[in-house]
Structure 1
């Protein structure tokens, strides 16, 4: 009996050890994903001036005068003579060009990706790796400098192509996501801020609601084959509502609250759509998604905490 108990205990230890080793090996073989900051491009217009202008002038004048005299018709008389000299010179040279120039400014928004990384860490077995930030290339001369060099040198400046934030394949080849098996690439499609004032009927009060709506397009791309495993649009929204005691009062919005709600709702939308699509496109990746976790309901004294009401702002006069 003792030998059987010892054998059972040994088998249990071996099974637990194999389970631990299997979990560790599975974690080591889990796909590595890099989450990029949201790419953002917008058209920018600016006024430029390019010119050099020099002016110099000189002027000189000289004069002399002599007179005569007379003592009557029967006496001596004098003479009169004079000379004048005037010199002037002027030099002017200049180049002046002015106008408006528009171009596409490319950058990344880094304020909405940490929550996406957080939901992936909580809801999947994937390993996240940090990629490099977007490399916009060497600084280029301004439009004014380009025009000035063209006027002075007489040659058309050859435009230099800059890296594009939306060219994810070029960024992968450039090595911005070394070590990642997949890249979750997001591009901002729309950013809308809202500020609405709604009077409360029958009172002098009003509600003011500040909001932010963010729409972004996402793609999960394999870094070796460039195969797209998932593609979807996700939306995030946040708002801050205040009740004003008088309609003409001004209350600053809680922008941090609006940004946080937008980021969190965007992350939840990304996770839901990503996990749904992986179930159809790649069973191997789909196995890395854990079962949905129930959202805990906050309790206080055994009772659910009531939802937060709009903040009332009273301005004393």
Structure 2
């Protein structure tokens, strides 16, 4: 048998084994890029324009004649003065409106953390939207994908803010001399998980984050300082948990907490078995 033929046959077999092993190897977790939260709001501003001007002119003229002869002498003079003044004043006031669009560089860290904690996704960093001259392109996520703003991502999680509202309240507590002061924040956003290859929407949902800080003040008085940072932190954390939960539910079809606990384990976490020996 020809040794060269054996060598070629062995090489072909080795390549076939490598190809088979590569095709059988499990694919890595999908890579997701999370955008900053987009916002759009109508802004109204008051304006007042005052204009004042004045114009004046002065014109004078004179004429003088003199005549002298052997019999008589005469002298004549005449003059005129013309003065003119004009003033103008105008005032205009009102309001004008415009659409303010942009991305909020907050509330996404806990969303990314929730997706990482699930162990089902690998996160990649995308590029922020910085085109301040063409803000209408903010919501054209397909164009942003085509521009290469999310390199290496299999999916883009695009989020936009529907509502964000701070509330500060002071409520007396019945039958006491105490007043409850509350600072709360509620944020509602819409999210879509978009495939970067065929632009299919794999998941779409609304999510909410809430947070509050409460201080009690008695009738003896004092100064109430509500913790705004604590409120924002709670909103970010609860929003991240809600987003991560809904992404997992819609991608896998699992909705019960029990099934998630049994099925979704972070990578590297093994199932623990407890053995009880009865003597």
> Structure 2 length as normaliser, TM-score?
0.69
Residue equivalent to 2:126: 131
Q: 1:209 aligns with which of 167, 177, 182?
A: 182
1:157-180 deviation digits (Å, cap 9, x = unpaired): xxxx65332222222223322221
CA shift, 1:224, in A, is 1.4
Q: 2:226 aligns with which of 253, 257, 270?
A: 253
- Residue 164 of structure 1: SS of its match in structure 2? helix
- Residue 137 of structure 2: SS of its match in structure 1? coil
Taking structure 1 as reference, are residues 181 and 97 closer, same or farther at Cα in structure 2, changes over 3 Å only?
A: farther
Indicate whether 1:117 and 2:90 are aligned: no
Distance 1:259 1:190 in 2: 15
RMSD of aligned residue pairs (Cα, Å): 3.9
In 1, are the aligned partners of 2:117 and 2:266 still within 8 Å (CA)?
no
- Residue 165 of structure 1: SS of its match in structure 2? helix
Residue equivalent to 2:171: 198
Distance 1:233 1:62 in 2: 84
Moved more, 261-270 or 103-112: 103-112
1:155-202 deviation digits (Å, cap 9, x = unpaired): xxxxxx653322222222233222211001111111122222221222
The answer for unaligned runs of 5 or more in structure 2 is: 1-21, 65-72, 255-259, 268-279
Residue equivalent to 1:179: 152
CA shift, 1:101, in A, is 2.7
- Residue 197 of structure 1: SS of its match in structure 2? strand
Residue equivalent to 1:101: 96
User: Counterparts in 2 of 1:29-178, with a 5 A limit?
Assistant: 29-47=28-46, 56-61=55-60, 81-88=76-83, 100-138=95-133, 162-178=135-151
1:116-164 deviation digits (Å, cap 9, x = unpaired): 11111222242211111113343xxxxxxxxxxxxxxxxxxxxxx6533
Distance 1:130 1:64 in 2: 90
Greater strand content:
2
In 2, are the aligned partners of 1:131 and 1:176 still within 8 Å (CA)?
yes
In 2, are the aligned partners of 1:106 and 1:164 still within 8 Å (CA)?
no
User: Counterparts in 2 of 1:20-35, with a 5 A limit?
Assistant: 29-35=28-34
Residue equivalent to 2:265: 291
1:192-231 deviation digits (Å, cap 9, x = unpaired): 2222222122222111111111111111100111111111
